[in-house]
Amino acid sequence: MATPTAAMIVIGDEILSGRTQDKNMHHLAGELTAKGIPLTEARVISDEAATITATVRELSRRYTHVFTSGGIGPTHDDITADAVAAAFDAPIDVREDARALLAAHYAKSGTELNAARLRMARIPEGATLIDNPVSAAPGFTLGNVHVMAGVPSVFRAMVASILPTLTGGAPVLSESLRVIRPEGEIAGPLGALAAEFPDLSFGSYPFIKDGVFGANVVVRGTDASALAKAVAALRVTFPDAA
C-alpha cells in the first residue's frame, strides 16, 4: 500500500495579519505523523471564497487527505463550507441532521437557534459530519477534504473525532540527539552518515541558546532496525550528544 499523504489549509486573515499565532498546524502535524499519514504541505490563505475554492481543488487532487481549519462559524466572514462545496461542485444548504444537532445543543441552554447559528448547519450534499463535542456545530468530510473549526479546542476535538476513521501508513519513527557543537562541525560526519543510510532521513536543526551553538540531529524512517543502527553510529561519532 502506498503511504497516504496529507495537506493542511489554514483559513484565516487573522493569522496572515499577525494578530493570531496559528496553533492548529503544529497539533495536526504531530497527530498525522503518529498516524503514519505524513503532512507534506501546509498553506495559510485568506478568507476569500475564490482562494479557498481554488486551493481546496488543487490540494485535494494532489494528496490523499486535505484538512482545513477556520471559517465555519456563524458570522458573515465564515465562508469555508460554501467555498469547499464549490470546489466539488456540490450543492449546499441547511441540512436536517446538522440542524438537529444544533437545535438539541441550544435547547439545553434555552438559547435561540437564530439565522446566524443556522448557517452552521449548512453542509454540502454528500458530506459526512465530523463530531464536535465542544460546541456542537459540526465539521464535515466532503470527498477527501476534512473541514474543521479554527478555535483550537474545537479543532483538536474534531481531529480526535476524524483521525481514528482514517487508514494510516507505516508510522514514521524518529530519534533525536542534541549535540552541543556548532552545525559547521556536525555537517561533515552527518552528511557521510546520511549517505550510508539512504532509506533514513537525517535532519539537523541548529539552535543558539545562551550564546552556545548546537543542533538537534533528527533521524527518521519506518525501519526500526536501520534507525537503531544509525543512532548507534551517531553516538559513536558524537559521544557528547544527549
Among 82, 131, 175, 183, which residue sits at the site for its own copies (rule: CB under 8 A)? Answer: 183
- Is residue 153 close enough to count as binding its own copies by CB under 8 A? yes
Tell whether the torsion through CA atoms of 226, 227, 228 and 234 is positive or negative. positive
- Which segment (90-98, 163-171, 204-212, 225-233) binds its own copies by CB under 8 A? 204-212
Query: 3-state DSSP call for residue 178?
Result: strand
Q: Which of residues 44-103 bind its own copies (CB under 8 A)?
A: 44-47, 73-77
Among 54, 82, 144, 204, which residue sits at the site for its own copies (rule: CB under 8 A)? Answer: 204
- Kind plus residue range of the DSSP H or E element containing 84: helix 80-87
Q: Which of residues 111-150 bind its own copies (CB under 8 A)?
A: 111, 114-117, 119-120, 134-135, 150
Report in angstroms the alpha-carbon separations of 81 from 146, 194, 213: 11, 44, 47
Among 166, 197, 203, 233, which residue sits at the site for its own copies (rule: CB under 8 A)? Answer: 203
Helices (H) and strands (E) in the chain, counts: 9, 11
User: From CA 16, how far away is CA 203, in angstroms rounded?
Assistant: 28
Minimum CB–partner distance for residue 225 and its own copies (Å): 21
- Is residue 222 close enough to count as binding its own copies by CB under 8 A? no
- Is residue 190 close enough to count as binding its own copies by CB under 8 A? yes
Minimum CB–partner distance for residue 191 and its own copies (Å): 4
Q: Which of 210, 229, 214, 209 is nearest to 178 (CA)?
A: 214
Report in angstroms the alpha-carbon separations of 112 from 104, 106, 109, 189, 219: 11, 7, 9, 66, 54
Among 90, 220, 229, 233, which residue sits at the site for its own copies (rule: CB under 8 A)? Answer: 220
- Is residue 185 close enough to count as binding its own copies by CB under 8 A? yes
Minimum CB–partner distance for residue 142 and its own copies (Å): 23
HSE of 137, CA atoms in CB hemisphere, 13 A: 23
- CB 176 within 8 Å of CB 203: no
Nearer to its own copies, 34 or 125 (CB): 34
- Is residue 166 close enough to count as binding its own copies by CB under 8 A? no
Among 128, 176, 222, 237, which residue sits at the site for its own copies (rule: CB under 8 A)? Answer: 176
